[in-house]
Structure 1
Amino acid sequence: MDTPRRKLRNLHMENVQNNSTPIRIPPSPMLKTLGHGTGVSVYRLDRSPKHGQIRSPWAVKRITQRTRAKKEMVYNERIVHEAAILRKLNHPNIVGFRGVIKTPEGIDTLALEMCSTSLGSILEERHDEDLGPLPAKHTFKMIMDIAHALDFLHCEARLLHGDLKSFNVLVKGEFEICKLCDFGVTLPLDENGEISFQKNPHLQYVGTTLWSPPEIIDEVEIIDSKADIFSFGLIIYETLALVPPHTLELDAAFNSSNNTMDMDSSQELPQRKQLSYDNDDSLTATTTMPKDTTPAEESIDEEDDGDDDGDTDVDEDDTKENDISDYSMTHIEQAYGTRPPLPVAFQLSDDYNCIVELFYLCTNALSEDRPAARTIWQCFENNAANVATACDVSSD
């Protein structure tokens, strides 16, 4: 069953590449910035009409001018790796690959499907506006869609995403569909669905530490696809707490006028969206600096695409860093790889029961005690009618 599908997918990609049309990517200042990741920026590319027909925009991703100046080419290598991975993935809940081009200087630009925004951005806005947890019906939709994506990734593509967090979940419209993005640090799973770091010393789990499972924190020699499930559970936590895992007390301190942490009282306390959660084992408070500029215009081979909508990326890279206090960092580091406590401030209605239960199941300390992605979407699908009814009743 797998071989014919793989052949058909490869034939499709060959046909797309043979029928591709070169386009021009203008300099970065002429593009709308969608977001920043670790060492990269993401821009919106509005394409010119073709044969009189309006074409959907793309998101283009490349390393920043600052990263190039530092010659930190590992981030460009991740873009190359992500492009190679996305070429082979074809799933409605995984962001679509559109094309890639390398400049004479060796810098790669990746073109992706566009989505409206990211889950992380949505949660930031809810937090800043004190709106409370994400509505249960939206969280339910996110869980279903991303569980489908993970099932495909783990069982068919044989890949571990390795960096699941709310900013790597894209959202189209009013949660019409959710898509998984950012495949720059994925790892191959063997025939048993595992990764042996002892047998494959060249492999390294790079994911963001706040969302990392206990087996990564403990540096065990063999992990499996359930590492993604723990991180997925922490995304569910984010929809309830509206802050990244292990930062609830830190967030409360930042927003308290009676802050007693060891911080310079002359500094303005950063808000949630000014915290930088990078996959380099660092957590810093940040203040946005001027955006990156890229002088050279680039060309890229266009690939035929269907209906596409928005991509956005995550954490701010071109920033000025303010050290978080030693007390705060020690508190957070001790919590890495554990199940964070749910906030007590929010009163959750009954339609959140299955969501909270799944959060606890996914964040079990032992890998074997966590559900597989397929089990998650199948269970939620079986209960979809009851959940939808509960959500409708609670909204009346």
Structure 2
Amino acid sequence: MGHTYSAFRVNGGPTQYAPAYHTAVVDVLTTGFILAFCMLGLAFFLIVPGFPGIKRLNFLIRVVVSLFIGAAILLGVLGQDWVSSELSTKTPYKAFTKTEIHATVGARIGLGSVNVTLKGDPVEQLVEETDLAENNTHWSEHIDYNERFTWAWRQGRFGFGPYSGRINREFRDAQYRGLPLPILWVAEYFTLDGELIRWGRSFRQAGWYTWQVLWTAFPLWLISNALSVMVLSYCGIGFIMTGLFMEISVVVYATIRFGTQPLEIPFEDGVMHFHYGPSFWLTMAGGIVSIVYGALILATDFWYPHTAADFFGIDVLQDPEEFYHKEKEPEAVEEPTKQSFHTAKGGVARRLKTRRDDYRAGVSSRFKKSNRRKSNPDRAVHTNEAVYVDADEESGPSNTVV
């Protein structure tokens, strides 16, 4: 029995297991929103075969463009890669050790936090060694860290006390936990706030204002999608405003974030220079697409309203005042010429032609019924003859008809 339960035990002590480190390779919230938009896209793609003819392509274009704009907004708000930098270097590992490791240090800055990564090269490295005769051990660790430091959104007091900013308190907690020195070295740059060295303040302010502007673009995007089945001119204006707010957020972030000088973090083998990341470029691209899409909707609705109605699947006969003026008297309605029907595109021309034929058939049927009620040939002839005879007998020919 003693040999059975002696695994992983030293000198009869409790079972000891090696530490298991599991770094976060992706952001869970960002991945969740990407998956949500992919599921929405798949759901819309499944109903595409239900549309006839060219309407399939029209519906597919509308869905893809709209989902791309919405995903750009939400991934810009929640993305953790507005500004990023990465450097491979030789660096000290932890406090109270003289071990140096070869690793890749990275920093990814979002609107409300910064992610600092440290990955060894190789991942498993010897970090400590003792030469005592009675306890000659070699310590190796799995070097793969990812730590997030948040500053949302209060600046706080100077220092690391209970009333300081959130990132300062998280930095002090990371020191107590004994995180590797490269991670603490990068995070410390965002805790400084004085003597024109205020990178943390500038990134916090830039993130706050950008966050507000982008969240304003999100409801505009929802309203624009709702208006796409109602009034196309307002839909185009809504998409233009959505894109403008997205571009304003990019300009605000690029203007405020540097502060008084750009952020550069030196290491032994180089300097970390920060550049714009995927979240920044995705927001910019989504804004440009939204502006162009809205302008096309507005221009097409102004010059080619029937084509725009066909593209968005709107039945013009349900709301005719949006597409042609309604006359008071049906007889005064001018019939569309053959040329106008040739210029009109798609199902709108067919529906207008059907409406014109139905109108003609109704008018002709009403005239036929009226003629049948009023006209009686025998009675008309007899009445006219009697009138003319009376007129001849009394005063000669007369043109009066009763």
Q: What TM-score, normalized to structure 1?
A: 0.20
Q: Which has the higher contact order (CA 8 A, sep 6+)?
A: 1
Q: Which is helix-richer, 1 or 2?
A: 2
